[in-house]
Structure 1
Amino acid sequence: MGQHLVSPTPWQRLPAAAAPALRARLGTVADAVARQATEAIGTGNDDATLARDVRRGVDVALQRFVDLVGTDEPALPAGVRETFVDLGAAEAREDRPPETLLAALRTSARVMLRETADALTDALAPRSLTTAALLDLSDAVTAFVDELAAATTEGFTLQLRELAGERDRRRRLLAELLVRGNAPERAVLAAAEGIGWRGVGEVVAVLLPPEQTRRTQFRFRDDAVVLERERDTVLLVRHGRTATREHLARVLAGRGAVVGVTVDWPRVPQSVRLAELAAQLVRAGAGDDVGGVDGGPVGDPPVFADDHLATLAVRGEQSAFALLGERRLAPFAGLPEPARGRLLETLRSWLRHWGSRAAVADELRVHPQTVSYRVRQLRDLLGADLDDADARFELALVLADPVGRRVPPAYR
C-alpha cells in the first residue's frame, strides 16, 4: 500500500479511457487553466506576451499529461521541461516574485483536477469513477504539477543568478570608475543608471577588512557599491539616510571600518585617500589597540576621517586642508566680496588675539565698536562654532593661509 501511494509515476494507474476523454476536451481544459493561471499571476495590465507564454505552457503541459496516462514514463522529458524552465526564467526577468508563479501553478492544479475529473465522469459510466480512481487522478495531477513547479523554480533560480552576476558586474564597474577617478561624467552616469541609481551626487568611502565585506555590504543593500582590493575593500555609500554619521557608526561598529569624508562623486579618490591616512594616523598614535583596516584587532567604534582633518592638514595633506577650508568658510560664500573680506580679516585677528576687542581694533585700525559689530555678524554666521575650541583651531588654521582665505565653494 505504501509503495502504491508514493509511486513516482501515479499516472500509470489512471484508467485507459482517461486519455481519449481528456484529449477530446484539451481545448476546453486549456482555456480554463490558462485563464485562471493568468489571473493568478496578474500584472495589473493587459500583458499579451504573458498570456501567450502561459497559454503555450498550459498547452504543452496538458498534452504531456495526456500522453503520460497509463505509462511509467517520467513526467517531463528534456524538451518539455525546458519549456517550463524558460517560463520560470521569464518570470524572474519580469521581476515578479517566485510566489506568484507558484500560486499560478497551484491554481492550475485545482482547475486541471476539476476539469479532468469532469472529463472522466462524462467518458465513463457513473459507477466506474470510484473514489479510488479519483484519488489516483488527484495523485497524478499533484505529482505532475510538482514536476512543473520544480522546472519553473529551476528556471527562476538560474535567471536570478545570471541577473545577479550582471548586477554585480555593473556595480563593480561603477565602484571602479569612482575610486579610480577622472572617469568621463557620461561613463559614470551610465554606470549609475545601470544599477538603478538616478545620478550619483555625494558619496562617502568606507574602508573595510576583506572578511567584513559581505556582511557589511548587506546592511547597505542598493545604497552602496563595493570594490575589493588586495588588502581591503572600498565600500562607497551614496548620500542619504544610510550615509549619515549616526547610521554609519551604528552599522560599522566593531567591523574595523574607516570612514572617509562625504564628497561629490568626482572627488571619491580624496575620500579614499583621507580614510587611508586617518587609519595610519590612528594606528600610529594608538598602537595595536586600535583596529581598522590592516590594524590588528577590530576596534569599536569606526574611525572617521572627519575627526582627523585638522591633524592631516597640519601634516601637509592638501586635500584635508582644502576640505577644512570649504567647510569652515562655507558660511561666508554667499556674502558680497567687500563684506566677506572685512569679516574674514576681523575673524582672523579675533582668533589670533583670543577675542580681545581692543587688540583687534588696534591691529585693524578700526573703532572697538566696529569690532563688536563685526563679531556679532560673525556669531550670526558661525553660531556655536565661534566658542568651540576645535572649530576655532580649524578656522585659525584655514585663515592662516592666504589660499585658504579665498573661500572655496561651499562643501555641502
Structure 2
Amino acid sequence: MGEIRVADEGTSTAAQPWSELPRELAEHMRPHLDEVADDMIQEIQNRVREYDRPMDGSYTGTLRLAVERVLHFFVDRVADPGADSASVQDFFRSIGRNEAGEGRSLDAMQTAMRVGGMIAWRNITEGAADTDVDPRTLGSIGEALMMFQDELAQAAAEGFAQARAAVAGEMQRRRKRLMDLLFADPPAAPELIADLAAAAHWPLPRTIAAVALGQHHQDSRQPAFPPDVLADLTRRTPSLIIPDPDGPGRAKLVDRALSDCLAVVGPTVPIADAARSIEWARKTLGLVHRGVIEADTGVIRSVEHMSTLILFQDEELIGSLADLRLAPLAHLRASQQDRLAETLLAWLQSGRNANEVAMRLHVHPQTVRYRLRQLEELFGDQLLDPDLRFDLEIVLRARNLLADQGAERVQNREAVGGNGEVVSFRQHR
C-alpha cells in the first residue's frame, strides 16, 4: 500500500474516525477496489444462500452494483470526510424497500453486509502489514468501516420499514373497504367481495360473526386481534369481523383479545349475511348502553339475549300493547302499580303458583294471595285467557327490564282527568 502518514499522538480517534484517517489512504485503496469487490461478491455468494443465483444475471448485476457503490463511497469518504452520503443512503433505502416488497426480511442483506465488511477489513489489514501504518490509524479505519456499515444498515432498515408501513396501510384500506362491502345492505355482489378479499389477503370463510365494540378502559391498550380478524376501529361503532367464530378454540381466543373492553358478538351467519350479524350486535350494544342488558366490560353474545332483542325490536309497538293490556292498573298509584305488576309477572313465570311467587318476591304467601285477589278484581277473565296471559308476560318482562336502568324510571303513564282512560304507557329511552 506504500507509506502512509502516521496519526498525531494527541488526536482522538474515538469521536470522529473519518477525520483521523490520512487522506492519501484513499489513493492507496482505489487501485485495489475491483479486486476487493470480486472477493466480497464471491464470499457473499458462498456464505449467503439467498445471494447465490448463478442463473440470474440481473440479480448478480445488482449485487455487484451495490458492492461497488459501497466500496467507492467508502474510499471517497476517506478522501473527504464531509462527502455527502445521501446518494448511497438512498440506494440502501431502496434496497430495504425492495426486500420488503419481495416479502423478504433483512436478515440475508445484513449477513451479506457483515461478510462484505469482513472481506474489506481482511484486505485492509493485509495491505497494512506491508506498510508502516500506525496501530491507532488502523484502529480508526476499522471503526470507520463499522460506522459505515451501521449507517448503511440503518438506511436499509428505514426503507424496509417505510415499505412495510405502506403495504400495511394499503392492506388496512383494502380490509376496511372489504368490511364496508360485507356490511352493505343489500349485500354486495359475491364476485366483488371475493376479488377484494383476495386483494386484502383474507381467505373467505364459510361463516362469520360481526362484533360491535363499546368504550375501552382508559388504561387499557388497544386489543391485539388475530391476523385473520377484520378490524375497523375508526367506524362510528368500532367493528370486527371474526371468521369461523364457532371453530375449535375460537371463542376463547376472541374472549381473551376482548377481555379489557366492552364487545358484543353478533350471531354466527353465512358471510353473505354479515350485515344482519352487525345489526344485531349494534342493537345489543345499544341495550347495554341503556342498561337494559347489564354489562361493563368483556364479551357479550347477542344469541344469549335474543328474547330481549325481540322485545325491544319495536318499542312503540310494545308500548302500545302495554297501554292496552295494563290498562286495569292505570288508575292506581305508581307504588301500587309496581307491586301488582311485579306480583303478576312472578305469578305468570312461576306457573301461577302463589307459594313460588312468595319465594321469588321474598314476601309472605298471604301477602301474595291478597295481591292476587286484587289482580283478579282488576283483570277479571283476562287472566284465564292464555293469549292474554302471553301478552301480559311480554309487556311485564319489557317493563321489568327497563326498571333495571337505574336513574331513569321505567314508565311514564299519563291519564286524562275524569274518565280514567289510559293515554300512554311509554318507556324512557
1:30·1:55 contact (CA, 8 Å) conserved in 2?
Answer: yes
Which residue pairs with 2:117 in the alignment? 109
Match of 2:167 among 141, 163, 167: 163
Aligned ranges for residues 1-400 of structure 1 at < 5 Å? Answer: 4-8=12-16, 10-38=17-45, 42-43=49-50, 46=53, 48-74=57-83, 76-121=84-129, 124-125=130-131, 128-181=132-185, 182-209=187-214, 211=216, 215=221, 217-220=223-226, 222-228=227-233, 231-239=236-244, 244-283=250-289, 286=292, 290-291=294-295, 298-299=296-297, 301-313=298-310
1:216 and 1:252 in contact (8 A); partners too: no
Tell me if the contact between 2:23 and 2:80 (Cα under 8 Å) persists in the aligned partners. no
Displacement, 1:60?
0.5
**C-alpha displacement of 1:193:** 1.0
Extract unaligned runs of 5+ from structure 1: 292-297, 318-412
CA spacing shift, 1:306–1:49, aligned 2, 3 Å: farther
User: What is the CA-CA distance between 1:120 and the residue it aligns to?
Assistant: 4.1
RMSD: 3.1
Counterparts of 1:209 and 1:44, CA distance in 2:
50
The answer (yes or no) to whether the contact 1:210–1:232 under 8 Å persists in 2 is no
Q: Report the secondary structure of 1:302's partner residue.
A: strand
Q: After superposition, what is the alpha-carbon deviation per residue over 1:164-214, rounded to whole angstroms, capped at 9, x for unaligned?
A: 211111111111111124211121111111122233431111111365799
* TM-score (structure 2 length as normaliser): 0.62
Q: C-alpha separation between the residues in 2 aligned to 1:2 and 1:93? A: 49
Is the Cα–Cα contact under 8 Å of residues 208 and 234 in structure 1 kept in the other structure?
yes
Residue 145 of structure 1, CA deviation = 1.5
User: Cα deviations across residues 332-378 of structure 1 (Å, max 9, x unaligned)?
Assistant: xxxxxxxxxxxxxxxxxxxxxxxxxxxxxxxxxxxxxxxxxxxxxxx
**1:69-114: per-residue Cα shift (whole Å, max 9, x none)?**
243324x532222111111111111222234433332222222111
SS of structure 2 residue aligned to 1:6: coil
Structure 1 residues 140, 245: CA separation in 2 closer, same or farther (over 3 Å shift)? closer
| Comparing 264-273 and 141-150, the one that deviates more | 141-150
| TM norm structure 1 | 0.64
Residue type at the aligned position of 1:163: V
The change in CA–CA distance for 1:130 and 1:3 in structure 2 (over 3 A counts) is: closer
In structure 1, C-alpha distance between the alignment counterparts of 2:275 and 2:71, rounded to whole Å: 60
CA distance in 1, matches of 2:59, 2:216: 43
Q: 2:64 & 2:138 partners in 1: Cα distance? A: 26
1:33–1:108 Cα contact (<8 Å) kept: yes
- Residue of structure 1 in register with 2:398 after alignment: none
Contact 1:209–1:231 (CA under 8 A) maintained in structure 2: no
Whether the aligned pair in 2 keeps the contact of 1:57 and 1:87 (CA below 8 Å) is no
User: Which residue identity does 2:224 align to in structure 1?
Assistant: F
Worse-superposed segment, 15-24 or 131-140: 15-24
Change in Cα spacing, 1:13 to 1:160, as seen in structure 2 (3 Å) is same
Cα contact 1:12–1:68 (8 A) shared by 2: no
Q: Deviations over 1:241-282 (max 9, x none)?
A: 588323323332241100111111110000001112223345
CA distance in 1 between counterparts of 2:175 and 2:57 reads: 33
Moved more, 278-287 or 52-61: 278-287
What letter matches 2:270 in structure 1?
Answer: D
After TM superposition, give the deviation of residue 150 of structure 1 in Å. Answer: 2.0
**Contact 2:194/2:204 (8 A) holds in 1:** yes
Specify the alignment match of 1:379 in structure 2: none
Q: Is contact 1:178–1:266 with CA below 8 Å preserved after alignment?
A: yes
CA contact (8 A) 1:192 1:200 kept: no
Q: Gaps (5+ residues) in structure 2?
A: 1-8, 315-429
Relative to structure 1, is the Cα distance of residues 283 and 161 closer, same or farther in structure 2, using a 3 angstrom cutoff?
closer
Does structure 2 retain, via aligned residues, the 8 Å contact 1:203–1:238? yes
> What is the deviation of 1:218?
2.2
Give the number of the structure whose alpha-carbon radius of gyration is greater: 2
Structure 1 residues 112-121 or 87-96, which shifts more? Answer: 112-121
Change (3 A) 1:277 1:71: closer
Match of 2:230, SS state, is strand
Say if 1:68 and 1:252 are closer, same or farther in 2 by CA, change over 3 A. Answer: closer
Check 1:211–1:139 CA distance in 2 against 1; reply closer, same or farther (3 A cut).
Answer: same
1:4 deviates by: 1.8
Structure-2 change in CA distance of 1:113 and 1:28 (3 Å): same
- Provide the C-alpha distance between the structure 2 equivalents of 1:242 and 1:173, rounded to a whole number of angstroms: 28
Identity level (%): 25
Secondary structure, counterpart of 1:257 in structure 2: strand
Contact persistence 2:212–2:238 (CA under 8 A): yes
